[in-house]
Structures are given as C-alpha cells and as structure tokens.
Structure 1
Amino acid sequence: MPYDRPSLSQLVTRAETDLSARLLDGDTPLRRSVVGVLARVTAGQAHMQYGYLEWLAQQPFVDTAEAEYLARHARIWDVARKAAVAATGAVRLAGQDGAVLPAGTELQRADGTLYTVTTDATVAAGVAVATVAAQAAGAAGNTAAGASVTLASPVAGVQSTGTVDAGGIAGGVDEEDDESLRARLLRRIQEPPHGGNAADYVAWALEVPGVTRAWVYPLRMGAGTVGVAVVADDATDGPIPGAELVAAVQAHLDSVRPVTAEVFAFAPTPLPVDVTLRLTPDTEAVRAAVRAELRDLFARESEPGAVLRISHLREAVSLAPGEQDHAVLAPAADMVPAAHEMPVPGTITFTAA
C-alpha cells in the first residue's frame, strides 16, 4: 500500500504527545510552554526530512526524476540532450560599391542580441548581403525578415543600419527541455534498438536538434529504401522544416542507418487549414486562447496523410479559457490530406456575431 507522508500539523501533534508523555507525565503542555516550542522545532526538522525523502524516492525512476538525475539516467542509456542551435540568416546593408563587410563583424538587434558576419560580404549595386549567425545559440536569436540591425562598430563604406533579408534569421533552437528528453529516454527504454526497424528511424530522427516528430515510410522509393518525414513544431516558421533541417536529418540518418538501407529524409507538403469562427464572448483574450488551443490541436493530431476531424477542431475551440459558445463557419468538413500532405494552421478569422 502507498505510504502517506505525515503533514506538519500531524508531526507537531506527535512530538507534543511524545514530549508530554516523557516530561509532563501525560499532562497537556501550556500554549507557550518550552515543550510546545520544542515540539514545533523537532516537527519542522522532521517535516523537511520527510520532504527530502519523498523527493529522493522519485529520482531513481525516469518518469519522475528531475533535471540532474534525469540527465544521469539519459547518460546511462546513451541518450544525449539535444544542444541549442544558433540562428542563421542574411542581412542587407547599403554602402559604396567595392566596400567590404569583413567576416567577424558584429551586428546588434534592438534588444541587444548580437550576430556575427560569417563570411566577407562586398557591396555591389549599393547593397551588401551578409550571412550572419547569432552569437548565442537558442530560439531567441530568430528574427523576422525586415527587422532592423545595427553594426556594433562602424565599417568604412558601409551604412551602420541594415535590415534582415527575406527568409529572416531562423533555425535557432533552444536546448532540449526535460520533458522532451524524458520522452525520448522512455522511448529508448520501451522500444530498444532493433537493427533498423521503424522505431529506430523515428528515434534517430528525433536526435536531431529542432525535430519534434517523425514518421517512417518503408519502401518509399522502392525496394531497400526508407522514407522519413520530419516536422519542427517549435520552430517560429514551423511545423514544416526548412531545407537546412531536412539536410541535417539526412546526414544524421546516413551516419546511423544500416548499410543495406537507403534512407530519404523529407518534409511533408503543407496543407494550410483556414479557420473561420464566431465567438462568444469575442474578446482579444478569448481569441488568443483559441489560437493557442488550435496550435496545440495541430501539434497533437496533424500527421502526413491523417484526417483532421472537424469535431476535434470544435472541441479545441471549446477548451479555450473564457469561451462560452462558438460556431465554426469554415472548414465545413473533415480535412482529408493526400498521403504526402500534412494539415498545418492557416489563417484564423473571427467574424462578428
């Protein structure tokens, strides 16, 4: 049977009873007596020890272990926490033709985030297009196209202020959090390697930073081939991954796959699902909650070729905090993608009642 940890008040009562029996011949101690003080002090110490023991009892198990011990379990099973990835992209700065923006030059976003030019960029036709990388790895380095950046130090012949090029500065990924690491570790324990079965390919794909889900398609390109579709739900431009992430998955799969298999990593074809809603009450707070619930729905249930039920969409809207009533005006039926397509959030429109 489970062990019930005593509460602080129960421990105080036990200590008072014990001290009273040993020092006062069973008499009830006075409210402000020394016995009462000793009872509360010893009970407080015991309560802290019970708390530590309760916490310690959770650490030997993967599903309840906290960060430090979870990382230790992962190392034992040779499951590495996915490292953070720095965002990369390009910026445009005006200048005099022939002027050079050298590699190593620092640029700064309005909030102080720093980027470094990775290769020399020469001004041509009045503009230098420089490739940059965030100095600090993580999603915080991602920046939308058109955002302003400034040179940390002047460069001769190049204007100090520029803009992020089309496509933005993207690809930045935070270090894997505990719950994601826990899920991969549990998968490793519950589905041990089998020399290249479907579960192995999923596990290998999920080892790549930025990949959140993966699906396997045996014989996709014929005998001896395996297709692996991946998505990046946490990316700012996700869930459909960019070519750079797909290439990283391909390279990793090529390094671990069985020599007899030819593997192809790919991104599903997006099938945008536009949603039109009428809400009651129709406030900004409720709209934001609805958007969050719909994003969560797509992250949970959207898969390549899988039907996304209109009833589940209605349920997601109903789960939004503050929502009292709603009507889904579009889509009018289940979303049925082709085998290579994956439903992704489209434009969410709110109409007046």
Structure 2
Amino acid sequence: MYSIPTFTKLHQVVVQEIRNPTGLTITSDSDASIRTDGEVSLVEGLYHHQAYILRQLFVQTADEPYLYIHAEELSVPRLGGTRAAGTVKAKSNAQITIEAGTKVTDGKGHFWSVISETVVQPNITTEISVNADQVGASWNFRGTSLLWVSPIAGLSGTAEVISIAGGSDEEELEAWRARMLESKQLGQARDRGSDLERAMKGVPGVDKIYIYKKRRGLGSMDVAITAVGSPPTLPTQALIDAAQIVLDEEAGFWADCRVYSPTEQLLNISAVVKGAGVNYTDVETTIRDYMAELAPVEEYHANTLVTRIMALANVEDVTLTPNSNVQPIVNWMYTYWLRAGTVTVSAAS
C-alpha cells in the first residue's frame, strides 16, 4: 500500500529542492517557506484525490454513489423496498360492500388499503386482502387488530388481523456491497446452488432461500422462500410469482424449477414457571422470540428454550410442554416451518 507523505515531509522535500541550487537558508517565517506551504497544500490535496479515486475502483471500498456504477457492471441493482400485504377479517350486522381502497390503520400513522371490492354478509366473518400504503418494514404488523377508517354503517370498527407482512426497506448499503462481492467472486455460471441463491436474493422481499434439487424427482429443482419481516413470514403469492420469473430465467434451461412457500407447523407451548417476582410477559416474549428465530426445517430444541427462560430475572425453574425436541416434517410435498401457536405461561403451584 503506497503511503502518502505527510505535509511536513512534503514541505521538507520542496525546501530542500530550493536550498540545493540556491544555497538559501530557509526559515519557517521566510518568504520561500510561506510559498512552499502553499505549493505543498496543493500537492497534498492531489495525493488525497488520487487516494479517493483509488478507493472508488473497488467494490470493497467504493462510496455509495460509485457502487451504483459497479452494480451496473455486475448486474446487481440495489433492491428497493417492498409493500407489506396480508389479510384482515371484517364483520358486519348487515350486508355491506367494502370498496377497494378502503383503509385500516393502527392509529399510529400506518395505513393499509383494501385491494378489491368485497361483499360482507350479515354476521359472517369475511377475509379481506390489504396492501400497505407505503413501502417499508414499518408496515409489517405484529398486533391482533386494526381500525377501519370511517367505517360504513353496520361494519364493526375493528378488523382482526390474520397476518400482514412482507414489507421491507431499501437494501442496506453493506448488504448490497456483499451481494456485489459475491457475484464478482462466483463469476459467470448458472448451475450451482450458490448461483441460484444469489439470483433469488435479487428479488425484493425475499429473505431466506432453501434449495431442494430432485425434490419432485429427476430433473426437478425446487426453491422454498420466506419473506422479509420481523419475524420472517410466509411469502405472498405475488412474491412467489416474482421469484418464479427469476428462477425460470436462471435455471429453467436445465431443470423443472418451482418456487414454493414453506408450510407453517404451529407449535403450542406452555411454560410453568417457578419463582417469586417473575415477569411472565418476559417469559412469553422469550418463547416467541425463540420460535421466530427458527428457520424452515429447523428443529425445536426444548433445552435451548429452557436455558433462555432460566436466564430471566427471578426464574428458579421452568417446566415446558413440549419438553422434548420437535423435528418439522420435510418431504416431496411439504417443507414445514415451526412457528409459535398458542403460548401459555403460568406460575408453578
């Protein structure tokens, strides 16, 4: 690595070049020294400019504006954000029609709009699809209910949430840089698992990718995906369709490819906790956080969860149900994903 000379070193070099042919004694307050300072400032600036240019030549060190140039060369565009989508339940005491564009809100500045006109029959719960009004992970909703904005007569003002997820922010700068480096290191090929994973990561909204070759027999290659979220969630059909297009372009020439969604396998968990002054909400949060971390096909380890609960304040002992490991089912038809079902926390008697 070339070392840029310091200002003092450059000053000494220039002063020496003046002194050699002239024999002048150059002091720090002399006219020659002052003029030298001006020249050296310019030279030092040119050195730093060259260092700046050098930094932009490499993906590892380039600043954000120049990463767009590298991205175009490597065909790795930065992923924009995606809109959260999901389903809510509506209930009415009369037959009503909920128009497309009708909104629900959490009361905190987030709004979701009904996708298509839906008829709600009296006293019958109807599922309605909604999309977030804006792009971003903030529109992924983890609560249980939302409020209808200006509900029409007969419609219950509360909409029960089944799930709303899949929203993501613009790709983080370092994550984008890492994808470009991965693309550069892998080179041009389309028949490796790493190539398929790289291509699928280029679909906005895709979180994790799981590749299963020959899942449906010889010549087949299937990819299970999850959607970004906190925690990650099942992909919507729109996301699956977008990923399918990319997969067909990447690997459709050599295999029968299919993108599909894992299947939720709800696991009901109960915890009987012993200890004085235990915060049972913290216990439930610990359980749900552990379940949220599990990836599709990943096993539930009871001992791991017990250890986390025992680390909470005032917990002396805990009895979990189930108290043994649970292995999700994986076969040619399904890729199960353990998710939290009903979580019950109670005090030991």
TM range (shorter): 0.5 to 0.7
Distance in 2 (CA, whole Å) between partners of 1:173 and 1:42 is 51
- Give the total of aligned pairs: 316
Displacement of 1:119 in angstroms is: 1.2
The alignment status of 1:55 with 2:73, answered yes or no, reads no
CA 1:16–1:50 in 2, change beyond 3 Å: closer, same or farther? closer
Which of the residues 201, 204, 210 maps onto 1:206?
A: 201
CA 1:343–1:55 in 2, change beyond 3 Å: closer, same or farther? farther
Contact 2:82 2:136 in 1 (8 A): yes
CA 1:117–1:215 in 2, change beyond 3 Å: closer, same or farther? closer
Match of 2:246 in 1: 252
Match of 1:169 in 2: 164
Contact 1:195 1:258 in 2 (8 A): no
Displacement of 1:222 in angstroms is: 1.0
Match of 1:29 in 2: 29
Corresponding residue SS for 2:83: coil
Distance in 2 (CA, whole Å) between partners of 1:164 and 1:197 is 46
Match of 2:223 in 1: 228
Match of 1:149 in 2: 147
Contact 1:86 1:141 in 2 (8 A): yes
CA 1:306–1:204 in 2, change beyond 3 Å: closer, same or farther? farther
Corresponding residue SS for 1:254: helix
Match of 2:100 in 1: 103
Displacement of 1:120 in angstroms is: 1.6
Displacement of 1:206 in angstroms is: 1.9
Contact 1:94 1:123 in 2 (8 A): yes
* 1:84-163 to 2 correspondences below 5 Å: 84-92=81-89, 95=92, 97-126=94-123, 129-151=127-149, 154=150, 156-157=152-153, 162-163=157-158
Displacement of 1:204 in angstroms is: 2.8
Distance in 2 (CA, whole Å) between partners of 1:307 and 1:101 is 42
| Unaligned 5+ runs, structure 1 | 277-283, 317-328
Distance in 2 (CA, whole Å) between partners of 1:131 and 1:68 is 38
Contact 1:139 1:173 in 2 (8 A): yes
Displacement of 1:183 in angstroms is: 2.7
The alignment status of 1:191 with 2:208, answered yes or no, reads no
Corresponding residue SS for 1:136: strand
The one-letter code matched in structure 2 to 1:136 is: Q
Match of 1:279 in 2: none
Contact 2:11 2:40 in 1 (8 A): no
Displacement of 1:132 in angstroms is: 2.0
Match of 2:73 in 1: 76
* Percent of aligned positions that are identical: 23
Corresponding residue SS for 1:168: strand
Displacement of 1:187 in angstroms is: 2.8
Match of 1:181 in 2: 176
Displacement of 1:75 in angstroms is: 1.5
Distance in 1 (CA, whole Å) between partners of 2:213 and 2:41 is 60
Match of 2:231 in 1: 237
Match of 2:276 in 1: none
Displacement of 1:107 in angstroms is: 3.9
Contact 2:97 2:118 in 1 (8 A): yes
Displacement of 1:267 in angstroms is: 4.5
The one-letter code matched in structure 1 to 2:211 is: V
The alignment status of 1:261 with 2:255, answered yes or no, reads yes
Q: Deviations over 1:289-323 (max 9, x none)?
A: xx8xx98xx69xx6857999x99xx9x9xxxxxxx
Structure index of larger Rg? 2
CA 1:107–1:304 in 2, change beyond 3 Å: closer, same or farther? closer
Match of 2:312 in 1: none
* 1:327-346 to 2 correspondences below 5 Å: none
CA 1:128–1:261 in 2, change beyond 3 Å: closer, same or farther? closer
Contact 2:190 2:196 in 1 (8 A): no
CA RMSD of aligned residues (A): 5.2
Contact 2:71 2:180 in 1 (8 A): yes
Contact 2:118 2:128 in 1 (8 A): yes
Displacement of 1:59 in angstroms is: 1.4
The one-letter code matched in structure 2 to 1:27 is: T
Corresponding residue SS for 1:166: strand
